[in-house]
Amino acid sequence: MTETPPLERRLRARGPEVVIEAVEPVVDGGRFATKAVVGDVFVVTADVFSHGHGVVRAIVRHRRPGSRRWSSSPMKHLGNDAFRGEFVPLTVGPLEIEVAAEPDELADWAHDALRRLQAGRPDRFDAELGGRLVAVAADDLEGSAGPNALEGSRAVRDVGSRIAAELDLRALASLQELSDVLAGRKLHDESAATTYRFRAMVGTERAVFSSWYEMFPRSASPDPRRPGRLSDVIDHLAYVAELGFDVLYLPPIHPIGTTARKGRGNTSPAGPLDVGSPWAIGGAAGGHDAIAPELGTLADFGRLVHEAGRRGIDVALDLAFQCSPDHPWVTEHPEWFRHRPDGTIACAENPPKRYEDIYPLDFQTSDRDGLWRALHAVTKIWAERGVSVFRVDNPHTKPFAFWEWLIAEIKREHPRTVFLSEAFTRPKVMHRLAKLGFDQSYTYFTWRYEKWELTEYFHELAHGPGRAYFRPNVWPNTPDILARSLQHGGRASFIARLVLAAGLSASYGIYGPVFELLWDEPAGPDSEEYLHSEKYEVHHHDLDDPRSLRLLIARLNAARHAHTALQRNAGLRFLPVDNDRIIAWTKQDAGGTDIVIGVVNLDPDWVQSGFVELDAAALGLDDGDPLVVHDVLTDDTYLWQAGRNFVRLDPAGVPAHLLVLEPS
């Protein structure tokens, strides 16, 4: 048997000597998957080091679960033992990611040999040892899956031959020139490498960038003599497309119960002509898998999904896992509901409010498996009918384990599905839901009014610890919330809140047409409910009302689709302004080439002015550099500079700028 050379034996027998720490982005030590986007650069950082002065090398690699083959990328040493690597996920779905590291004996040798040469005291074994180390590196490079591995290996072997023949500074310089090529070699000894593995869920573009439009189908009729139907929503698609929205969200479209039905303004009892709340799901015509007969048929819904898709619009449905007293499950599966001591089923309550028209499901039922399977079947059937986006009603009132299981099961068969969590609750609960698999989450934006709280909150969303998994979707209004800022500020407040939502967050939505038509009348002086709420009655909207914000919304959404800076949150930076009633920010894309500036007057009553300070260095500019900026809201153009710029915003006009830096 041929004896293994001492160097080869030492390389192969080496035990783990490298430490990997502080890997980012990792969620709760790898308990949950971090989020990624197909086609986006995914960055991994880590601290990697060894004892003594030894040089280490690290790679980041990824693969689909079940695959035996890794795709690898070298990690770059940034100094102070910090490493950075990146790759681009190309497919939607789960991903395994691993940081792997080992001692780099070739780099160690080259460093020491160079110092000895420069000192005029070369080691007589340097040439032999260096030649053999380079040959090992060439083997590792040839064994990698890189596209130019063979060609690179030949170049490395050529340098290795020169080093083995006669070590000199030129040979070492040639080796240094091949450092980028050598970085692509595979690990020399997989069994001896130190590794750190975590998971990611790769989502679609829609999961990270989306503009939502919510509307009630029964209010879509152009004929004031009848309620709207799904066919009217199809006719409405041209309007939604004109506004530039890419998600059309419909509240529940299922049969509505008649028992304990709510009347106008959430009153009881209902009158004979009252239509009830769409969230009181279930009746004689079926449950969660059926469509309310007054809205149309499954064929109508199929046409809606198809016609929306032709316009680049996804139809989102509401997953509201609750039942009316008339839901088929109430008689078929009474064990799925909570019962009072007298045997009656308990209605929903949020004391002092009672919702007699809704029975909450009991997730602690003795037939937990049956209930969970039924809810999975409901979600799956709508996914099979073409729904790829779900807005989930009150997920925080259901068990965490249920959502983790349901979302994983649906995404196993339909990986492009997007789930939005409608949970206005405690921060840690909202974050837990995001970790469990919800792609997007409602936020507290609706109740953030002042400059300091908006700045603090959106900085947290963009750069805080939740940035790896919590994707915000911000709404100025919803059917449940007529925010205080919209009740008293008139048109100026609607515009300000719109520009804040669409300019600060990659995903946002409005509840229309009441938003663009400036509905601002609450049910009472201390209420966030709408007077004449569409939750309980049918309306007919004049979309051509001259007061409408439709043109402004269309311009804003067009800018969002045209500028990549507005499609992500990582590039958000707030700007100093010498007026606390004016908030300003910049957004840059990952490459830093697309830059958008937002400026909003937070005072709906008075003209506000001040100086906005542009950070020249952050924009890659020199102080005083002239800038041509185009306001996408008004189509005006201004000459700014890198540094201080004066703004004056009048609430009687458009109290905001959304400025795009024109190419120099």
Catalytic residues: 393, 422
- Residues 379, 382, 387, CA angle at the centre, nearest 5°? 110
Side-chain half-sphere exposure of 236, counting CA atoms within 13 A: 29
Distance CA 105, CA 111 (A): 10
Task: Answer for the pair 132, 236: CB distance below 8 angstroms, yes or no.
Answer: no
Distance CA 271, CA 258 (A): 11
What CA–CA distances, in Å, run from 209 to 402, 408, 460?
26, 21, 18
Tokens of 355: 């919702």
Q: Could you give the 3-state DSSP secondary structure of residue 600?
A: strand
Nearest to 537 by CA among 213, 216, 214: 216
Distance CA 481, CA 398 (A): 22
AA identity, residue 452: W
Q: Which residues contact 10 (CB under 8 A, 6 or more apart)?
A: none
CB < 8 Å & 24+ apart, contacts of 614-622: 614/575, 614/586, 614/640, 614/641, 614/642, 614/643, 614/644, 614/645, 615/573, 615/575, 615/586, 616/642, 616/643, 618/573, 618/586, 619/586, 619/588, 619/592, 619/595, 619/661, 620/592
Phi and psi dihedrals of 494, rounded to 5?
-60, -45
- In b/e form, how buried is each residue of 131-170, taking b as 16+ CB within 10 angstroms? bbbbbbbbebbbebebeebeebbebbbebbebbbeebeee
Decide the pairing of beta strands 418-422 and 389-393: parallel
Helix (H) or strand (E) run with residue 43 in it: strand 42-50
Beta bridge partners of 659: 597, 631
Q: 535: how many CB neighbours lie within 10 A of its CB?
A: 19
Distance CA 69, CA 164 (A): 34
- In b/e form, how buried is each residue of 8-47, taking b as 16+ CB within 10 angstroms? eeebeebeebbbbeebebbbeeeebbbbbbbebebebbbe
* Helices H / strands E in the chain, number of each: 17, 29
AA identity, residue 579: N
Q: Is 452 left (phi over 0), alpha (psi -120 to 50) or beta?
A: alpha
Distance CA 264, CA 535 (A): 8
Distance CA 476, CA 498 (A): 7
Tokens of 79: 């100094």
SS3 of 542-589: the string is CCCCCCCCHHHHHHHHHHHHHCHHHHCCCCEEECCECCCCEEEEEEEC
Q: Is 28 left (phi over 0), alpha (psi -120 to 50) or beta?
A: left
